[in-house]
Amino acid sequence: MSLGVAGMLAFVVPAMAVDAPAPQNPQAQEPPNQGVQFQAVATQQALLAAPMAGIVDDLPLRDGQSFHKDDLLASFDCGVQRATLDHAVAEQQKHAGLVTIQNRLRQLKSYSEADMRTAQAELQAANADRRLAQANVAHCTVQAPFDGVVSGVSAHAHQFLQLGAPLLSIVNPGSVELDMVAPEALLPKIQPGAEFSVMLAGHTQKVRARVIRLSPVIDPVSRTVRVYAVPEEDAAAFLPGMTGEVVFP
């Protein structure tokens, strides 16, 4: 049976009159608390390079061994550099003696002003040569810049290295910060001093952490901000490179 145009409109119009659900205001939604990941990063870490070209005399530490600040990490064969320093010291002493003689002659009114200036200039040059030789000898050893642990060895004893060649990787595991990228919407919850919980990957126990600083720039594409925090408890469990999840209150 045909309904006709009027009958069809009777069915269509009520269907069109049904109110559609009002779109939700994204600004009114709660900011996401889940999905933010962190990585533990050591603030004290370094890749030490050869300070000179030469043969490695000794690398006393292996991967995983600890050290203290100013401990010897590497030494180079420096026979030539030390001999050069000895020669520079002798030259400096010789020219210092010549200046002393010129000063005595000056007191006796039996000196040449030109000889005095020459002796003083040669002493200054000898002092500079001595400082240069001392600096070269100082490069013969590599000392630890901080307390830490060797995390990688790139050279071996008796190996010849060029200037700047990789030598050792070192890290201070006790200098860990938690580096994360959080949505801009979480800014009210992640101001410096704010506390939250973190959970290491593969663990179920939550650990308290505290925000220490924020990056001053928001990424315009992802609308995220970089956040830095420190664990407030069980800090020794956070090793550089570990990752986990952030749980905001």
Domain ranges of the chain: 30-43+173-247, 79-138
Q: HEC profile for the chain?
A: CCCHHHHHHHHHHHHHHCCCCCCCCHHHCCCCCCCCEEEEEECCEEEEECCCCEEEEECCCCCCCEECCCCEEEEECCHHHHHHHHHHHHHHHHHHHHHHHHHHHHHCCCCCHHHHHHHHHHHHHHHHHHHHHHHHHHCCEEECCCCEEEEEECCCCCCEECCCCEEEEEECCCCEEEEEEEEHHHHHHCCCCCEEEEEECCCCCCEEEEEEEECCCCCCCCCEEEEEEEECCCHHHCCCCCEEEEECC
pTM value surpassing 0.85: no
Residue 189 and residue 249 in contact, taking contact as beta carbons nearer than 8 Å: yes
pLDDT, tens digit only, all 249 positions of the chain: 444 544 444 444 444 444 545 455 544 444 455 579 999 999 999 999 999 999 999 999 999 999 999 999 999 999 999 999 999 999 999 999 999 999 999 888 887 889 899 999 999 999 999 999 999 999 999 999 999 999 999 999 999 999 999 999 999 999 999 999 999 999 998 999 999 999 999 888 899 999 999 999 999 999 999 999 999 988 889 999 999 999 887
Q: Tell me which architecture the domain covering 30-43+173-247 has in CATH.
A: Beta Barrel (2.40)
From the options 2.30.30, 1.10.405, 3.30.1120, 1.10.287, give the CATH code of 79-138: 1.10.287
